[in-house]
Structure 1
Amino acid sequence: MTDERNPGMGEYDDEPAALLALDALTPDEQVEAELRLGPWPMPLAEATLPLAEAVASEPPPDLRSDVLAAALARRPAGRPVPAVRAVTPAEAFERTLDEFHDLLLSLSEAEASRSAHEEHGRVRDLVAHLAGVERLNLRWLDPDGDAPYLPDHVAATRATVAELADLPFAEVVARWHAAALAMLAAARRGDQDRQVPFHDIAVTVGGMLTMRTFELWAHGMDIALATDRPLLDLDDERMRLMSSRLMDALPLALAYRGVEPPGRTVRFVLTGPGGGCYDVPLDGAAAATDPDVLVVTDVVALCRVAAARLGPDRLDVTVEGDRELADLVLAHVDAFARD
């Protein structure tokens, strides 16, 4: 087909020309078609509009209900896609332990001397601190032990950091790894819901392992940034575990910081495969039917706030309702972060 009113436009291939006239091409396809065919003449483009209107018709009256019924038959409302398999705190910690260990094994002695943390200093000193943390956890997990609560967890590991200070980095890593595996084995024995000390609070064994997953993930970020390595990317199963436990712990986090808004409820919509929707009563009572505020944010970003690796003021968040209440809650999401 030749457009006699637009000399030089040449022959049009029927199918691409028709799709171009109907504005039925993707942006990339449209660019390609216009480069090959030239812009579609405006009079011809306008002539296609009545054609499209002539064949337009109302959808069948039952289309919406049929589509909705078919969708609900495939997946109940409220279940995320893709469905995330439940993972235990022990499994989550073990996976994170293995990935953290792989990161450490990739570092040279020179990289281990880079500064990685404001309080702990070099990478090697941070790993030595973690070795001390694992030893403390092992004592706390001993049902016959009498390990004390230790509010200053940095001071509590200084003896271990000093003990490992002159060892080659590979040996420091080996000492941490052995202690971490021993702690995990002890945690897997017995009731996962039994209460144990953890620094200055009491938690369940499962809670301890979840918090330790947060801690290894956070320090993995510290070391990756210090040594120009990719950040540890937790799978959706671990993000679901961490975010759901975080939602459960929010009322306790606020109480720990001395904040207890009576009768207030926040609805969190955490986007991403490991997220979900949670109504959180901040005083631990039953959730209100209508929440006081809706907070929508990315699940990974909120977990970074909880791990004290992202300030709440830098969180990309959408808030509907009581903004002051949302800011109050987000300011205390990191209450249980332990560096």
Structure 2
Amino acid sequence: MPDPSAVAVFADLREEGRELDALVRELSEAGWAKPTPASGWTVAHQIAHLHWTDRAALVSLTDAAGFAGMVEEALAAPDSFVDEGAEEGAAMPPAELLARWRAGRGALDEALAAASPDTRFPWYGPPMKAASMASARLMETWAHGQDVADALGVRRTPTARLRHVARIGVRARDYAYAVRALPAPAEQFRVELTAPDGAGVWAYGPEDAPQRVTGPALDFCLLVTQRAHRADLVLTATGADADRWLDIAQAFAGPAGPGRAPGASR
């Protein structure tokens, strides 16, 4: 019997993709060419990047040798392979890019559902089970969707799907230190986030931890995906280490990004 929690995240990933699809499906060519907050990336680059990474996830799930080849290509051009993948897709006519992204999402959805739930599949970071891979794809879809929404002047309504993004952000705490060659705090933090509907709190870490972070789940997710500067968010840190974490937090693999400048979003 399928794991209900895995089935739920697969469904949430599908819905996140549909929501972003609704933002771009009626865009004109000028709309696809609009610049987003990511320097040098248009709306087309954002969708092309998602298509590229969805394809990488599909290859990971279905062709281990093929994915090993993709990793070798990345290692050969570590500073440019992400941009190159986005550039290739962004050069397509918008209708073709949209059709390929949709087809890729469908294929990935089928592969996730068919994957062995206990198998760990290779990735550019640590290997992941299918449910974790779906959570990571949702996080990236949401984050790049935020770039698209910002470019189009759209304010999205946050949903309970953000719990996947928040959980990754909390679990990636020590990674944020490691990628900056900094020692991670020995003690765990308490993180308490107000759910988007305001009806509950998502809590992580020991209840009695002296160092903690509190605030809206949306703000925390914007912070850890580096879609908004801390100064523009309503997050409170208690303790010096927790305060420092909010300056460097990231939920995504890879080098630390430049993030957004204060006042550049929302």
TM range (shorter): 0.7 to 0.9
Which among 95, 113, 117 is matched to residue 192 of structure 1?
117
Alpha-carbon contact 1:93-1:213 (below 8 Å) kept? yes
* Structure with higher RCO (Cα < 8 A, 6+ apart): 2
Q: Map 1:1-339; keep pairs closer than 5 Å.
A: 88-148=8-68, 149=71, 150=74, 152=78, 155-156=81-82, 158=84, 161-162=87-88, 165=91, 167-231=92-156, 233-236=157-160, 238-261=161-184, 263-272=186-195, 273=199, 275-279=201-205, 287=206, 290-320=208-238, 322=239, 324-336=240-252
Match of 1:9 in 2: none
Residues 192 and 259 of structure 1: CA distance in aligned 2, closer, same or farther (over 3 Å): farther
Offset, 1:274: 6.4
SS at match of 2:249: coil
Alpha-carbon contact 2:89-2:97 (below 8 Å) kept? no
Alpha-carbon contact 1:266-1:295 (below 8 Å) kept? yes
SS at match of 1:202: coil
The structure carrying a bigger strand percent of its residues is: 1
Identity %: 25
Residues 145 and 239 of structure 1: CA distance in aligned 2, closer, same or farther (over 3 Å): same
Offset, 1:111: 0.9
- How many angstroms apart in 2 are the aligned matches of 1:92 and 1:154? 31
Indicate the RMSD between aligned Cα atoms, in angstroms. 2.9
Offset, 1:138: 1.4
Residues 132 and 277 of structure 1: CA distance in aligned 2, closer, same or farther (over 3 Å): closer
SS at match of 1:118: coil
Residues 191 and 269 of structure 1: CA distance in aligned 2, closer, same or farther (over 3 Å): same
Deviation readout 1:253-306 (Å, 9 max, x if unpaired): 444544444532211111234642222xxxxxxx5x742312211111101111
Amino acid at match of 2:221: C
- Normalising by structure 1, we get a TM-score of 0.62
SS at match of 1:90: helix
Offset, 1:107: 1.1
- How many angstroms apart in 1 are the aligned matches of 2:163 and 2:185? 28
- How many angstroms apart in 2 are the aligned matches of 1:221 and 1:240? 16
- How many angstroms apart in 2 are the aligned matches of 1:175 and 1:263? 45
Alpha-carbon contact 1:132-1:157 (below 8 Å) kept? no
Alpha-carbon contact 2:10-2:134 (below 8 Å) kept? yes
- How many angstroms apart in 2 are the aligned matches of 1:277 and 1:250? 15
Alpha-carbon contact 1:133-1:157 (below 8 Å) kept? no
- How many angstroms apart in 2 are the aligned matches of 1:332 and 1:160? 25
Alpha-carbon contact 1:264-1:292 (below 8 Å) kept? no
Which stretch of structure 1 is more off in the superposition, 128-137 or 168-177? 128-137
SS at match of 1:295: strand
SS at match of 2:36: strand
Deviation readout 1:158-177 (Å, 9 max, x if unpaired): 25743661x43122111111
Aligned length: 242
- How many angstroms apart in 1 are the aligned matches of 2:242 and 2:89? 45
- How many angstroms apart in 1 are the aligned matches of 2:84 and 2:226? 22
Residues 163 and 260 of structure 1: CA distance in aligned 2, closer, same or farther (over 3 Å): closer
Deviation readout 1:208-250 (Å, 9 max, x if unpaired): 211211111122121122123333x3422x1223323433343
Alpha-carbon contact 1:240-1:275 (below 8 Å) kept? no
Structure 2, gaps ≥5 residues long? 258-266
- How many angstroms apart in 1 are the aligned matches of 2:15 and 2:79? 24
Deviation readout 1:86-135 (Å, 9 max, x if unpaired): 67321111110111111111211121111124345222233223222222
